[in-house]
Amino acid sequence: MLGSTPCNSLLITPIFTTLLIILLYPSNAQLSSTFYSSTCPSVSSIVRSVVQQALQSDSRIGASLTRLHFHDCFVNGCDGSILLDQGVNITLSEKNATPNNNSARGFDVVDNIKTSVENSCPGVVSCADILALAAQASVALAGGPSWNVLVGRRDGVMANQSGANASIPTPFESLAIISAKFAAVGLNITDLVALSGAHTFGRAQCRFFNQRLFNFSGTGSPDPTLSSTYLATLQQNCPQNGSGTTLNNLDPSSADAFDSNYFKNLLNNKGLLQSDQELFSTNGSATISIVNNFATNQTAFFEAFAQSMINMGNVSPLTGNQGEIRSNCRKVNGS
């Protein structure tokens, strides 16, 4: 009897410690595709039907929603912080940060999704998860891949405007800088190329690429990595001293379809943003062979895109008892 005591305590101590760790850190829980199976089993179809309805009157909305998830995840992780309106609690919103101001859109559709989801399962589904689900639905509805969205994120209670200004890549940056911004959130070069493929749908305003059209980097000439025929079209749509807000299709060959044409365009010097074309035109870059692969093998692109969306969706989520489930995506609860 006496001899068994040290042996038992040797066994019990690690078990007890493990249990203690699990109890103390419930927030380290992983996201899961079944998180809402019992609490909101129809959440995916509710999200999908609201997106589908919005597409009837706005063929661009799926692209806009997909971009919201990206801009959410790159700032304080995927915590729905981009959705918070500037107000009493939120003095400097992410919405008003440079990459989002007069650019990010789809907030009203997120509100509609939230209302629909709340009607079926009140107080259960986070706004951060709604963004992840809306992105997947948008891609699938445009003809792109489907994947099992991992959910269980909770909503943050603050916004980080300076973080948005610093962390979201701009279309004027070098591939090295943009790669570093992806690496900063744990995403690699394959993720960068695959996720840039989201520019297979949606629009961009002239102000985001007109520096390429007439006097690129002070050379007095257009960006040499722009095809001359495409250049002529873009110069017409975005004349010097014209409006910076005129819209252009990011993928001129199939504007609203989610396909691999974005990569085929890069092979033909028809990337719209400088940051797009850099993936293929930066000498010696490891991204070139990935672009070549996705341009010729749409299945490879779709598989990589789905995996990279999961990777991006895993950036620092709040889980367990962190954050909250916002009842209005625009406001922290109780404010």
**Helix (H/G/I), strand (E/B), else coil: 186:** coil
Task: Specify the residue, 166 or 273, whose C-beta has the smaller distance to ligand HEM.
Answer: 273
Count the Cβ atoms, other than its own, within 10 Å of residue 251. 27
The set of catalytic residues is: 71
> Does 75 appear as a known binding residue?
yes
Least distance in angstroms from the C-beta of 281 to ligand HEM: 14
> Does 111 appear as a known binding residue?
no
Least distance in angstroms from the C-beta of 217 to ligand HEM: 17
- Token pair in block for residue 137: 């639905």
Task: Specify the residue, 40 or 80, whose C-beta has the smaller distance to ligand HEM.
Answer: 80
Count the Cβ atoms, other than its own, within 10 Å of residue 148. 12
Q: What distance lies between CA 172 and its chain's CA centroid?
A: 19
> Does 296 appear as a known binding residue?
no
Task: Specify the residue, 69 or 154, whose C-beta has the smaller distance to ligand HEM.
Answer: 69
Task: Specify the residue, 211 or 327, whose C-beta has the smaller distance to ligand HEM.
Answer: 211
Phi then psi dihedrals of residue 218, to 5 deg: 75, 15
Q: Give residues with Cβ within 8 angstroms of 197, minimum separation 6.
A: 260, 262, 263, 294, 301, 305
**Alpha-carbon gap, residue 163 to 165, rounded angstroms:** 5
> Does 245 appear as a known binding residue?
no
Least distance in angstroms from the C-beta of 154 to ligand HEM: 22
Please classify residue 1 by burial: count the beta carbons closer than 10 Å to its beta carbon, then call 0-12 exposed, 13-18 middle and 19+ buried: exposed
Distant-in-sequence contacts of 101-105, Cβ < 8 A, 24+ apart: 102/245, 103/205, 104/64, 104/67, 104/68, 104/71, 105/61, 105/64
- DSSP tag of 31: P
Least distance in angstroms from the C-beta of 247 to ligand HEM: 7
* Torsion of Cα atoms, 86 then 107 then 201 then 79, to 10°: 70
Phi then psi dihedrals of residue 26, to 5 deg: -65, -20
Least distance in angstroms from the C-beta of 219 to ligand HEM: 21
Nearest residue by C-beta to ligand HEM? 202
Least distance in angstroms from the C-beta of 66 to ligand HEM: 4
> Does 285 appear as a known binding residue?
no
By CB under 6 A, name the binding residues for ligand HEM. Answer: 60, 63-64, 66-67, 70, 103, 105, 169-171, 178, 195-196, 198-199, 201-205, 208, 250, 273, 275
> Does 69 appear as a known binding residue?
no
Instruction: Find the distance separating the first CA and the last CA of the chain, reported in whole Å.
Output: 61
Task: Specify the residue, 208 or 301, whose C-beta has the smaller distance to ligand HEM.
Answer: 208
Task: Specify the residue, 90 or 192, whose C-beta has the smaller distance to ligand HEM.
Answer: 192
Q: What is the CB-side half-sphere exposure of residue 145 using CA atoms within 13 A? A: 21
> Does 199 appear as a known binding residue?
yes
Contact 1, 89 (CB under 8 A): no
Residue stretches of the annotated binding site for Ca(2+):
72, 75, 77, 79, 81, 94, 200, 251, 259
Residue stretches of the annotated binding site for substrate:
169
Residue stretches of the annotated binding site for heme b:
199
Residue stretches of the annotated binding site:
72, 75, 77, 79, 81, 94, 169, 199-200, 251, 259
